[in-house]
Homo-oligomer: A and B are copies of this chain.
Amino acid sequence: MSDKRRYLILAPGVFAQDAKTAHGVIAYAHDETAAVVDPSCAGSSVRDVVPYLNCRAPIVSSVAEGLAFQPTSLLIGTAPIGGKLPAHWRSEVLAAIRAGMEIVSGLHEMIGDDPQFATAARESNARIWDVRKPPEVPIFSGYVYDVQQPVVLAVGNDCAVGKMTVMLELARAAAQEGCRAEFVPTGQTGIMIAGWGIAVDRVISDFITGASEQIVLQAAARHPDYILVEGQGCINHPAYAPVTLGLMFGAAPDALLLVVDPKRASIGEYDTPTLSYVELIQIHEAICAKVKPATVVGIALNTHTLNEQDAREAIARAGNETGLPADDVVRFGSRALWNAIVPSLRKRSPLRTVAAV
């Protein structure tokens, strides 16, 4: 077996619209996509259904049918609210386990803790990788304040606006510019792509800052030039803002990058309105200022719902309203935004009650 997985991606009925995990892995992972299971679009290929992924893998109607494409691993291709496996997916997961395939899951519900799955996996010798299963981590220590590299955290105006994608694209841009920016995965898709990290939303609340700190320390130990931390949620999210704040304090960023879908009017499934650029900058900087100051250094827009003219206007407006560099790194490339923010990436010190020794 090569060191690359060949994924069969399970996303029945949801691949086209609601399979963020699947799309992220297809777009950015080192691993290969053998096929996708979604009866609602079986017979087409991935790029027929999601053109930007530019992937020729076929879409099939069942795990049984997908076995023909020699997959090594079944990827649960979505992260539903609450993180539970939809009941009607169970038989497909079981079919993959019985075929001896590895199961890769980012659900809150641990596949390996399910008695039926665990028993079947023992019988077929199938490996189960519950990506979201958190390791034991210490309470936040403050050692992260001694990290030498500038740390950038993505924050946004909602969930699922592209915070992970933007940081992966900026890491690529950095490499093209001859420096090394280490991507720090904080969610299940990022972990599947990079092969390490902690799903901080799955960590016990008292330990989320400690978990965020540990992964930044791990990244720093690889001696990159910059550290780019995947963001989660958003600071005015009625349900997930505590996760966002856990990263803001635990990763102790020096700089924040705003990732914004300018057409998003409300947060996730809630009625809560999204914030303006100016409000986003004010609230994030005000909160960080109480512990370790961080400034917003740029804006990455997600303009996928706009035509090109409207996209360029939205980007210009973001820049004008804030005086910050702004771009859509997926649509127009990431090097311009990267080069524009680099001069702002300087280390900052936390507040201290006593003068530093």
Contact = CB atoms under 8 A, between A and B. Distances in A.
Interface of A is mostly: loop
A283 B284 CA distance: 11
Contacts of A351: 271-273
A82 to B, nearest CB: 5
Interface of A: 81-83, 108, 138-140, 142, 200-206, 208-210, 235-243, 245-246, 249, 265-266, 270-273, 275, 279, 282-283, 286-287, 290-291, 350-354
7 closest A-B pairs by CB: A236-B290, A140-B239, A242-B242, A266-B353, A201-B206, A242-B246, A271-B352
A351 B240 CA distance: 17
A82 B208 CA distance: 12
A5 B190 CA distance: 49
B204 A353 contact: no
Contacts of A287: 235, 283, 287
State the number of copies, please. Answer: 2
Given A82-B138, A209-B241, A242-B246, 19 more contacts: A108-B206, A142-B270, A203-B204, A203-B205, A205-B205, A209-B239, A209-B240, A209-B242, A235-B290, A238-B291, A242-B249, A266-B353, A271-B351, A271-B353, A272-B290, A272-B350, A273-B351, A283-B286, A283-B290
Nearest to A265: B353
B209 A201 contact: no
A243 B353 contact: no
A205 B249 contact: no
A245 to B, nearest CB: 5
Contacts of A275: 290
Contact of A352 (B81, B204, B273): B273
Contact of A238 (B82, B142, B204, B236): B142
A328 to B, nearest CB: 24
A81 B353 CA distance: 21
Contacts of A203: 204-205
A124 to B, nearest CB: 29
Contacts of A206: 83, 108, 201-202, 239-240, 243
A266 B354 CA distance: 9
A108 B136 CA distance: 12
Contacts of A138: 82
A246 B205 contact: yes
Contacts of A270: 142
Given A140-B238, A240-B206, A272 B286 contact: no
Given A242-B245, A249-B242, A201 B204 contact: yes
